[in-house]
Chain A
Amino acid sequence: MFFIAYLVHELSRRRARTLTALACIAIATGLVISVTAIGDGVNATQSKVLTPLSAIGADLIVTREADPNNPHGSTEVLQQNAEAVKTDLAQLGKPGDHFTRDFFLPGTQLTMPTATAQQIAGEAGATASSAALAMTITHQEGTVPKIVATFQTGGQTINIDQAIAPMTQAEINATNACIAALNGSPLAPPPGSPPGKTGTAPPTPDQINTCLPERFRRFRATIVTPQQTITQVLNPPQTDIKSNSLSVLGIDTVNTPGPLSVAQISSGRFFSADPGAAAKEAVLSEAYATHHQLTLGSSVAYNGQSFSVVGTARSVIGVQSADVFLSLPALQKLASQDGNANVIFIRLRQGSDLDAAIHRIEAAYPGFRVTSNRDLANRISGSVAQAGSLAQKGSRLLALIVFVVTVLFVSILSWAGVHSRTRELGTLRAIGWSRLLLVRQVLSESLALSLLGAVFGSALGLVAARALQAWLPPLTASLATASTDSGQFGLGNLAPAIGSTATLRIEVIPNTDLVLAAMALAIAAGVIAGVIGTLLTARVQPIQAVQRLT
């Protein structure tokens, strides 16, 4: 008991020295914990990002992509798909009618029968697999416009200038005979007749019109006008048709792995276990739900079919994501893609040769693209990718430096402490303390100090880690787009690149192992310092009890 009391008094009654050493050890322990936790946090964040498929329990993703350089790819199919998005106003209804239409496009990912998906999974040696259908929905909504065109015609002037042949004598005679029959004077007397024959009046206009030859009474001509095209610019009709796109994934709600795991659900729930109920449900991405102010219980409708929102989900960078998740059968039916899928998620047997599996698939199914974590990791950039390894190495190095500095500092304190107590320790030797007993006492003091420092330091480290968690800026990660790949897994430009960038908070949460390791380091620092102190202690001779005075 005496030795413990002596130890306690030494620590409590030499307060300045004790507090200095305690603060040094505690700060060092806290630094080791918080700095290492940052490094581990960044590293964990990086690992999460660089092994995105692991987050959904998959090893490989297989897609069938259109590649103009690949004879097995079919760009025509893509063109046909693109042409499917046509808006024929005549087909939408009568003018003034409200209409909605949804076009479903598979993007640049060609579809395949789900049977093929199963064969590919079998070829790869999968323990589990699921097929999904990634589509882009182009949604149109508005009112069928009225189209009225008014054309103005006429106003053309046609001039006919034609010489008319004079009357023949026969015509004159016939005309005169006609007039005479009407008791009129002839138009022109016959040659040799006396002028001014009395008894007859000049012919009236009516008599003349009646008796003139037919060609003088009516002009008949056929006029052919030149052909011409009248072009008139029409003002476009007023319309309110709105068009927008969203990505949708039809997923296997029963089998895993898939693009949406239960772990990604941030609110609500995953699809119902019953496929019938799941076919009427939808899970939305957090961003899409927030942007469109959709909440749990809301509904979304496509081509007249309504789906109830049962959950929202976080996206995992690198893993194919979508605005809306539906069950695979529901999307197949909506998009007229019965029995088709365009993404296969494969989990291999543990310890399988990844490269061999990729090779088998690519050899057996030309035109199919196999993506692994390694491919994704190579395409991920951003602060996460840059910070990860640096932080991990840096934090370990910093922790080592802190440890070494602490050992040095505490050792100096220990040495100085023993040196200043030389006469005291010499006195103890003089009154019968053995060298071993003295060393044990001094070492115990260092050990107790380091234990206390480790405890306080751990608390300090945990508090600091919490503070750092709030203070540290988030990291970003981006999935690079390869030149031969117009989008993530070929979803292409038609689909929003959801999941291709991410902002990630660093989880600065020291685990038990780290705290215990830091405490062990603190104790080790105390022991080293204690040993250094005891090296001096062990050299203290009894004579030193009086040496300073003689």
Chain B
Amino acid sequence: MSEMVYELSAVSRTYRTGSALIEAVKSVDLAIDGPGLVVIQGRSGSGKSTLLQMMGGLDRPDSGEIRFQGNDLARLREGKLTQLRRLAFGFVFQAFNLIPTLSAAENVEAAAAPTGGGSSERRRLIARLLDEVGLTSRARHLPSRLSGGEQQRVAIARALVNNPSVLLADEPTGNLDSRTSAEIISLLSRLSAERDLTVVVVTHDPAVAAQATRRLAMEDGHLAEIPFTSPLAGEVGFPSPLAGEGDPAA
């Protein structure tokens, strides 16, 4: 049996907003055992992005364990967590989060540079990645001169540059039109298959969910599996995460 990619047990996260305490994630258990496109759906404020951030080592749970490659991300020291973020995780953000003063190629290099290594080899890798996401001709362009879809593809190339084992995408199509969204989801799906990559996507986009190899639903801080027999979450006892959804931010 292959080693688990992720094992989350009783993960909880509470925020304080003013005088109010918000339990964003409530005792979530989750196991991801291999490559594939895992989609977490849920309404805005359901806690799905918080869960993703904790899985990527951007945030720590208040309680519970997040085991990844034998490490508990909840208790890992900062240096080791940084190293995991650099080498094991690739992040794709809703707002692309590109460095505005760097070109597309340099943005990809920004993730590779801290790992060291030869610059010529790195440049070849970046060129290959940009080619893979279809942006060879836009390598020298600043983000401000790229479309939303192009920027997100640069972000995906950046996320892949250190050859991570997990790619975490938070609403990757949230700022894109439907056609571009489809392209991005298709790209993520293809990369997952080609690179034997675990891709975890937080979204409310049904088109993304349609491409998933595994679907999860987040509701009020609780996580539940969505069986493939029913694409909608209603069958696991949650209201459909897509019903009445209007806010793209989650």
B86 within 8 A of A: yes
Contact B97 A427 (CB under 8 A): yes
Q: Choose from B53, B59, B78, B86 the contact partner of A432 (Cβ within 8 Å).
A: B86
B85 within 8 A of A: yes
Q: Choose from A424, A432, A435, A546 the contact partner of B85 (Cβ within 8 Å).
A: A432
Residue numbers in B under 8 Å from A435 (CB-CB):
78, 82
Say how far A325's CB is from chain B's closest CB, in angstroms. 71
Complex Cα–Cα for A546 and B50 (A): 10
Contact A542 B100 (CB under 8 A): no
A434 within 8 A of B: yes
Complex Cα–Cα for A13 and B85 (A): 28
Q: Which residue of B lies closest to A3 (CB)?
A: B113
Contact B100 A424 (CB under 8 A): yes
Known: A432-B162, A434-B114. A6 touches B87 (CB 8 A): no
Q: Which residue of A lies closest to B171 (CB)?
A: A549
Contact B106 A6 (CB under 8 A): yes
Q: Which residue of A lies closest to B83 (CB)?
A: A432
Say how far B142's CB is from chain A's closest CB, in angstroms. 8
Q: Which residue of A lies closest to B250 (CB)?
A: A550
Complex Cα–Cα for A430 and B113 (A): 14
Binds A, one of B88-96, B186-194, B214-222: B88-96
B249 within 8 A of A: yes
B99 within 8 A of A: yes
Contact B86 A9 (CB under 8 A): no
A471 within 8 A of B: no
Q: Which residue of A lies closest to B158 (CB)?
A: A431
Per-residue 0/1 for A327-348: is the Cβ within 8 Å of any B Cβ (1 yes, 0 no)? 0000000000000000000000
Q: Choose from B49, B97, B101, B162 the contact partner of A9 (Cβ within 8 Å).
A: B101
Residue numbers in B under 8 Å from A433 (CB-CB):
82, 86, 114
Residue numbers in B under 8 Å from A430 (CB-CB):
56, 58, 85, 91, 97
A48 within 8 A of B: no
Q: Choose from A3, A6, A428, A434 the contact partner of B79 (Cβ within 8 Å).
A: A434
Contact A432 B114 (CB under 8 A): yes
Say how far B14's CB is from chain A's closest CB, in angstroms. 15
Residue numbers in B under 8 Å from A542 (CB-CB):
57-59, 85
Complex Cα–Cα for A358 and B114 (A): 75
B224 within 8 A of A: no
Contact A549 B249 (CB under 8 A): yes
Per-residue 0/1 for B153-175: is the Cβ within 8 Å of any A Cβ (1 yes, 0 no)? 00000110010000000100000
Say how far A238's CB is from chain B's closest CB, in angstroms. 96
Per-residue 0/1 for A520-550: is the Cβ within 8 Å of any B Cβ (1 yes, 0 no)? 0000000000000000000001110110011
Complex Cα–Cα for A543 and B79 (A): 15
Q: Which residue of A lies closest to B162 (CB)?
A: A432
B119 within 8 A of A: yes
Say how far B150's CB is from chain A's closest CB, in angstroms. 18
Known: A431-B110, A431-B111, A432-B87. A545 touches B97 (CB 8 A): yes
Complex Cα–Cα for A223 and B111 (A): 147
A14 within 8 A of B: yes
Complex Cα–Cα for A549 and B247 (A): 12
B65 within 8 A of A: no
Residue numbers in B under 8 Å from A5 (CB-CB):
106
Residue numbers in A under 8 Å from B86 (CB-CB):
431-433
Contact A546 B49 (CB under 8 A): yes
Known: A2-B113, A435-B78. A427 touches B94 (CB 8 A): no
Contact A428 B94 (CB under 8 A): no
Q: Which residue of B lies closest to A542 (CB)?
A: B58
Complex Cα–Cα for A202 and B185 (A): 194
Residue numbers in B under 8 Å from A437 (CB-CB):
114
B205 within 8 A of A: no
Contact A550 B93 (CB under 8 A): no
Task: Give the interface centre of A2, A3, A424, A546 by most chain B CB atoms within 10 Å.
Answer: A546
Q: Which residue of A lies closest to B90 (CB)?
A: A431
Known: A9-B106, A434-B82. A1 touches B119 (CB 8 A): yes
* Residue count of chain B within 8 Å CB distance of chain A: 37
Say how far B238's CB is from chain A's closest CB, in angstroms. 21
B102 within 8 A of A: yes
Chain B contact surface mostly: helix
Q: Which residues from 170 to 208 on chain B have a C-beta closer than 8 Å to any C-beta of chain A?
A: 170
Complex Cα–Cα for A9 and B83 (A): 26
Residue numbers in B under 8 Å from A64 (CB-CB):
none
Contact B83 A2 (CB under 8 A): no
Known: A423-B97, A435-B78. A6 touches B114 (CB 8 A): no
A171 within 8 A of B: no
Residue numbers in A under 8 Å from B85 (CB-CB):
429-432, 542
Task: Give the interface centre of A432, A437, A542 by most chain B CB atoms within 10 Å.
Answer: A432
Known: A437-B114, A545-B58. A432 touches B49 (CB 8 A): no
Residue numbers in A under 8 Å from B50 (CB-CB):
550
Residue numbers in B under 8 Å from A97 (CB-CB):
none
Known: A430-B85, A431-B85, A546-B93. A2 touches B110 (CB 8 A): yes
A10 within 8 A of B: yes
Known: A430-B85, A433-B114. A424 touches B95 (CB 8 A): no
Say how far B202's CB is from chain A's closest CB, in angstroms. 11
Q: Which residues from 1 to 28 on chain A have a C-beta closer than 8 Å to any C-beta of chain B?
A: 1-3, 5-6, 9-10, 13-14
Contact B119 A549 (CB under 8 A): no
Residue numbers in B under 8 Å from A2 (CB-CB):
106, 109-110, 113, 119
Contact A431 B100 (CB under 8 A): no
Say how far B179's CB is from chain A's closest CB, in angstroms. 23
Contact A14 B101 (CB under 8 A): yes
Residue numbers in A under 8 Å from B99 (CB-CB):
6, 424, 427-428
Complex Cα–Cα for A527 and B94 (A): 35
Complex Cα–Cα for A423 and B98 (A): 10
Residue numbers in A under 8 Å from B53 (CB-CB):
543, 546
Known: A2-B113, A9-B102, A431-B111. A549 touches B95 (CB 8 A): yes
Residue numbers in B under 8 Å from A428 (CB-CB):
99, 110
Residue numbers in A under 8 Å from B93 (CB-CB):
427, 545-546, 549
Residue numbers in A under 8 Å from B158 (CB-CB):
431
Contact B59 A543 (CB under 8 A): yes
Q: Which residue of B lies closest to A544 (CB)?
A: B58
Complex Cα–Cα for A79 and B28 (A): 120
Q: Which residue of A lies closest to B50 (CB)?
A: A550
Complex Cα–Cα for A9 and B100 (A): 10
Q: Which residues from 226 to 250 on chain B have a C-beta closer than 8 Å to any C-beta of chain A?
A: 249
Contact A6 B91 (CB under 8 A): no
Say how far B78's CB is from chain A's closest CB, in angstroms. 7
Contact A432 B97 (CB under 8 A): no
Residue numbers in B under 8 Å from A424 (CB-CB):
97, 99-100
Say how far A318's CB is from chain B's closest CB, in angstroms. 63
User: Can you list 8 pairs linking A and B with CB atoms under 8 Å apart?
Assistant: A2-B106, A430-B56, A430-B91, A432-B87, A432-B111, A542-B85, A549-B249, A550-B249
Given contacts A424-B97, A543-B53, could you give 13 more A-B pairs where the C-beta distance is less than 8 Å?
Answer: A3-B113, A5-B106, A9-B101, A9-B102, A9-B106, A13-B101, A430-B58, A432-B85, A432-B86, A432-B115, A434-B79, A541-B58, A549-B95
Top 8 A-B pairs, shortest CB-CB distance:
A432-B86, A2-B113, A13-B101, A427-B97, A542-B58, A431-B111, A9-B101, A432-B85
